[in-house]
Amino acid sequence: MNIANKLTVARIIMIPVFLIFLLVPMNLGVLGSGPFFLPVSQLLAGFIFIIASITDWLDGQLARRKNLITNFGKFSDPLADKLLVMSAFVSFVGMGRMASWMVVIILAREFAVTGLRLVAAGEGDVIAASKVAKWKTFSQMLTIISFLFNNIPFGPGGFPLDQILLWIAVILTIISGADYFYQNRDVLLRSR
């Protein structure tokens, strides 16, 4: 197993650790006071998520630069990304911090694009990640990080940065999903 694939596996292993710190009640203390406080367990979850997100970028860089692209990596890297991001979004819904309809849109796009990729693979085609999809993933990860380190006021009337980023992530999710289906419409037409 090459280093890029090891980083992908490490990211998958970090997911339950991230979820434990985020969701399991722990009395590790609180940082800050008043409206600006953060439970230590949530801070640790945030650092784990950031490290996992960095491995996403790093394994891709290593795989391309050192020609370490494998079938395992093609399968497991996007799976690890989806597991990491979706586990965070679903957790925030369960915690009452995110609107469920927004997360349903994000989940629906992921399932739809995965389905499109499966149809393309059946036809012998590979659908690579587009630039818009990379921006979508970045915006989703940034949104999650902002929710993990919440209580950052921003904008007129102190509108929270995490909510602004969530809207951006949802909009980019819709745009990237539409882009995938438009750019690969021939795959669907051939499979009719």
Q: What is the pLDDT of residues 63-117, one digit of tens each?
A: 888 887 777 777 788 889 889 999 999 999 999 989 999 999 999 999 998 888 8
Phi and psi for 62 in degrees, rounded to 5?
-65, -45
Q: What is the reported pLDDT for 67?
A: 85
Q: What percent of the chain shows pLDDT beyond 90?
A: 43
Higher pLDDT pick, 63 / 159: 63
pLDDT exceeds cutoff 60 at 187: yes
Residues 6+ away with beta carbon under 8 Å from 60: 4, 77
Residue 36: is its pLDDT beyond 70? no
Provide the mean pLDDT of the chain. Answer: 86
What CATH number matches the domain at 3-190, 3.40.50.300, 1.20.120.1760, 3.10.20.740, 3.40.50.620? 1.20.120.1760
Pairing verdict, β 36-39 and 30-33 = antiparallel
Identify which has the larger pLDDT, 37 or 65.
65
With contact defined as beta carbons under 8 Å apart, do 179 and 173 qualify?
Answer: no
Average pLDDT over residues 42-60: 91
Rounded Cα gap, residues 186 and 120, in angstroms: 10
Beta-carbon neighbour count of residue 112 at 10 Å?
13
The confidence score (pLDDT) of residue 32 equals 66
Looking at residue 192, its pLDDT comes to: 66
How high is the pLDDT of residue 191? 65
Instruction: Determine which of 30-34, 129-133, 170-174, 184-188 has the lowest per-residue pLDDT on average.
Output: 30-34
